[in-house]
């Protein structure tokens, strides 16, 4: 499956790689809707889940997952307009 960054260019995670502290920024078409943020480890285990409400069409959240082990993780955003996935690296 080809999963180009252009496909999910509405999801920005920085810095990446990071030490477990990063900012998640979303630029969405929808306004005033709720969405779900999920983070999975490389084995597919869910390590973080939050429900957020979009105020306007931009969302930004500082996230601290420094308690997690180093490695590759996937952030999955699920909202009314669809699903997006980005890979992050905790080092």
- Both structure tokens of 77: 């955003």
> For residue 4, is pLDDT > 50?
no
Backbone φ and ψ for 74, nearest 5 degrees, come out as -125, 130
Assign 29 to helix, strand or coil: coil
30-86 pLDDT tens trace: 666 889 999 999 999 999 999 998 888 889 999 999 999 999 999 999 988 789 999
Handedness of CA 4, 49, 28, 13 (dihedral sign): negative
> For residue 21, is pLDDT > 60?
yes
- Both structure tokens of 35: 């969405």
């Amino acid at each position: 499956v080809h999963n180009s960054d252009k496909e999910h260019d509405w999801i920005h995670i920085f810095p990446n790689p990071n030490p477990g502290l990063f900012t998640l920024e979303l630029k969405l078409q929808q306004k005033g809707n709720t969405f779900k943020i999920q983070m999975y480890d490389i084995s597919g285990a869910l390590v973080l889940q939050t429900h957020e409400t979009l105020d306007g069409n931009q969302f930004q959240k500082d996230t601290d997952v420094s308690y997690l082990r180093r490695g590759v993780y996937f952030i999955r955003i699920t909202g009314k307009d669809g699903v997006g996935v980005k890979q992050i690296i905790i080092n």
